[in-house]
């Protein structure tokens, strides 16, 4: 396998959230058209029926889920999975619209999804539904200590731990690789073996890569685009993700890719050595 698809992660979904919230806030849902009913989690009748007539009170994000909050207390959640995007106009590129939301004041949202893996779900009790998900990495509750205590319970490779949505929410392949590079950790290091100092570095790196990526409106490497159809430029700031063979920005060694639990991991074999104790500053 030479190619890894890049699914939208926290920065991409957060970018969509920030873009559409001012446009849909206070709007009433007039109709939900499911052009592909397999998008509905639960029955299509419920997903397209119950929200009609409700008003959108907020647009939230939890992990990689985008959630339209409805005035009946329920949430209409979208999970973009591999290739989903939310658009304000019908797509001209790779069109495969699976659902359309018609809102008051002539606002429309199109859910485009080439590989048809995305899901739309009406959730009655959001807190209960999201309870098992790990903390949001940009929230106040996500402290170094919180990260340390969560990682300490897992002997799996740190790369796999970062991807586990029960340990920490919203991180996927790209930002895990970027954070591990910044914190100089080898992707296969067992999560539970990280020192407090290494965890602290990882914590800082996670916040840094996510914040920077949001500022650049996400990474349009694969099918992800902004609701306007424009591209997010976060990829321009990447150090290692999807850059196999390119020189390491820190030491010049060609970057490599290895498989960690069936997922590709891009890293620098010199800056991210597996066994050597890591120095605090290069
Ligand atoms: Zn290097």
Q: How far is the CA of 177 from the centre of ligand 1 (A)?
A: 13
Q: How far is the CA of 271 from the centre of ligand 1 (A)?
A: 4
Tokens of 260: 């960690």
Which residue, among 87, 49, 41, 45, has the nearest Cα to 225 in the 3D structure?
Answer: 87
Q: How far is the CA of 173 from the centre of ligand 1 (A)?
A: 19
pLDDT tens digits, one per residue of 27-72 = 999 999 999 999 999 999 999 999 999 999 999 999 999 999 999 9
Active site residues: 8-9, 64, 263
Q: How far is the CA of 192 from the centre of ligand 1 (A)?
A: 24
Instruction: Print burial letters for 196-213: b (CB count within 10 Å at least 16), e (below 16).
Output: eebbbbbbebbeebbeeb
Q: How far, in Å, CA of 57 to CA of 70, rounded?
A: 6
183, 218 Cβ separation under 8 angstroms: no
- Structure confidence at residue 223 (pLDDT): 83
Which residue, among 60, 52, 64, 43, has the nearest Cα to 100 in the 3D structure?
Answer: 52
Per DSSP, helices labelled H in the chain are 10-24, 44-49, 126-130, 144-151, 158-163, 173-182, 196-215
Report the largest interatomic distance among the alpha carbons of the chain, rounded to a whole angstrom: 60
Are 10-130 and 144-267 the same fold in CATH? no
Looking at the structure, give the CATH architecture of the domain made up of residues 144-267. Orthogonal Bundle (1.10)
Rg of the chain in Å (alpha carbons): 20
Residues of the chain short of pLDDT 50, as ranges, are 1-4, 278-282
Q: How far is the CA of 12 from the centre of ligand 1 (A)?
A: 27
Compute the half-sphere exposure of residue 178: CA atoms within 13 Å on the CB side of its CA: 25
- Structure confidence at residue 281 (pLDDT): 44
Q: How far is the CA of 181 from the centre of ligand 1 (A)?
A: 8
Q: How far is the CA of 275 from the centre of ligand 1 (A)?
A: 15
Q: How far, in Å, CA of 238 to CA of 177, rounded?
A: 9
| Cβ < 5 A residues, ion ligand 1 | 248, 250-251, 253, 268, 270-271
Where do the domains of the chain lie? 10-130, 144-267
Q: How far is the CA of 253 from the centre of ligand 1 (A)?
A: 5
**Residue 57, H or E segment:** strand 56-62
Q: How far is the CA of 17 from the centre of ligand 1 (A)?
A: 35
Q: How far is CA 150 from CA 162, 177, 202, in A?
A: 10, 19, 13
Q: How far is the CA of 80 from the centre of ligand 1 (A)?
A: 33
Q: Which CATH superfamily is domain 10-130 in?
A: MutM-like, N-terminal (3.20.190.10)
């Amino acid at each position: 396998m030479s190619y890894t698809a890049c699914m939208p992660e926290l920065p991409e979904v957060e970018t969509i959230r920030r873009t559409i919230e001012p446009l849909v806030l206070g709007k009433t849902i007039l109709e939900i058209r499911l052009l592909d009913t397999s998008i509905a989690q639960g029955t299509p009748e419920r997903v397209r029926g119950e929200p009609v007539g409700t008003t959108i009170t907020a647009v939230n994000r939890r992990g990689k889920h985008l959630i339209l909050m409805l005035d009946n207390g329920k949430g209409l959640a979208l999970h973009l999975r591999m290739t989903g995007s939310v658009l304000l106009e019908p797509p001209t590129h790779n069109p495969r619209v699976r659902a359309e939301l018609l809102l008051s004041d002539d606002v429309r949202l199109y859910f485009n999804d080439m590989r048809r893996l995305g899901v739309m779900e009406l959730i009655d009790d959001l807190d209960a539904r999201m309870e098992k998900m790990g903390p949001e990495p940009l929230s106040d509750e996500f402290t170094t200590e919180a990260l340390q205590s969560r990682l300490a319970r897992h002997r799996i490779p740190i790369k796999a731990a970062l991807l586990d949505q029960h340990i920490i929410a919203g991180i996927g392949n790209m930002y895990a690789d970027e954070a591990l590079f910044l914190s100089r950790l080898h992707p296969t290091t067992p999560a539970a073996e990280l020192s407090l100092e290494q965890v602290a570095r990882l914590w800082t790196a996670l916040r840094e890569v996510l914040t920077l990526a949001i500022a650049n409106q996400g990474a349009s490497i694969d099918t992800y685009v902004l609701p306007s159809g424009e591209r997010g430029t976060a990829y321009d700031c990447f150090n290692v993700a999807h850059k196999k063979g390119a020189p390491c920005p820190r030491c010049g060694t060609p970057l490599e890719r290895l498989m960690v639990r069936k997922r590709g991991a891009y890293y620098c074999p010199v800056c991210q050595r597996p066994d050597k104790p890591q120095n605090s500053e290069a």
